[in-house]
Amino acid sequence: MRFAHGEPNPKRNKKMATQQINIPDIGDFDSVEVIEVLVAEGDVVAVDDSLVTLESDKATMEIPSPVSGKVTKVTVKVGDSVAEGDYILDIEADEAAAEDAPKAEAKKEEPAKEAPKAEKSAPAPQETKAPAANVPPVPKPVNAQSMGAAYHASPSVRAFARKLGVDLNAVTGTGPKGRIQQNDVEAMIKSVMQGSAAASGQPQGGAGIPAVPEIDFSQFGETETVELGRIKKISGKFLQTSWLNVPHVTQFDESDITEMDAFRKSMKAQAEKAGVKLTPLVFVMKAVVKALQEFPNFNASLSPDGQSIIKKHYYNIGVAVDTPNGLVVPVVRDVDQKGIFDLSKDLMELSAKARDGKLTPADMSGGCFTISSLGGIGGTQFTPIVNAPEVAIMGLSKAKMQPVWNGAEFEPRLVMPFSVSYDHRVIDGAEGVRFTTTVGQYLTDLRQLIL
pLDDT per residue as tens digits for the range 160-219 = 887 777 877 778 777 765 678 888 888 777 777 665 444 444 444 445 577 788 899 999
Query: What whole-number distance in Å separates Cα of residue 390 and Cα of residue 437?
Result: 20
Q: If you average pLDDT over residues 63-71, what whole number do you get?
A: 89
Query: What whole-number distance in Å separates Cα of residue 200 and Cα of residue 196?
Result: 6
Least confident of 1-10, 30-39, 232-241, 243-252: 1-10
CA–CA–CA angle 357, 363, 364 (5° rounding)? 90
Q: What is the reported pLDDT for 57?
A: 55
More confident residue, 39 or 57: 39
Q: If you average pLDDT over residues 235-257, what whole number do you get?
A: 92
Catalytic residue at 424? yes
Q: What is the reported pLDDT for 130?
A: 39
φ, ψ of residue 351 in degrees (nearest 5): -65, -40
Query: What whole-number distance in Å separates Cα of residue 399 and Cα of residue 413?
Result: 10
Chain length of the chain: 451
Q: Which residues pair with 4 in a beta bridge?
A: none
Q: What is the reported pLDDT for 180?
A: 84
Give the global pTM: 0.56
Coil/strand/helix, residue 276: coil
Contact 327, 374 (CB under 8 A): no
pLDDT per residue as tens digits for the range 290-342 = 999 999 999 999 998 889 999 999 999 999 998 887 889 999 999 999 999 99
Q: What is the reported pLDDT for 4?
A: 47
Domain architecture of the chain: domains with CATH: 12-115 (2.40.50.100), 136-209 (4.10.320.10), 231-450 (3.30.559.10)
Average pLDDT, rounded, for the chain: 81
CA–CA–CA angle 197, 198, 201 (5° rounding)? 85
218: left (phi over 0), alpha (psi -120 to 50) or beta: alpha
R_g of the chain computed on alpha carbons: 33
Q: What is the reported pLDDT for 101?
A: 57
Query: What whole-number distance in Å separates Cα of residue 311 and Cα of residue 423?
Result: 14
Q: What is the DSSP string of 51-110?
A: EEEEE-SS-EEEEE-SS-EEEEEE---TT-EE-TT-EEEEEEEEHHHHHHPPPP--EEE-
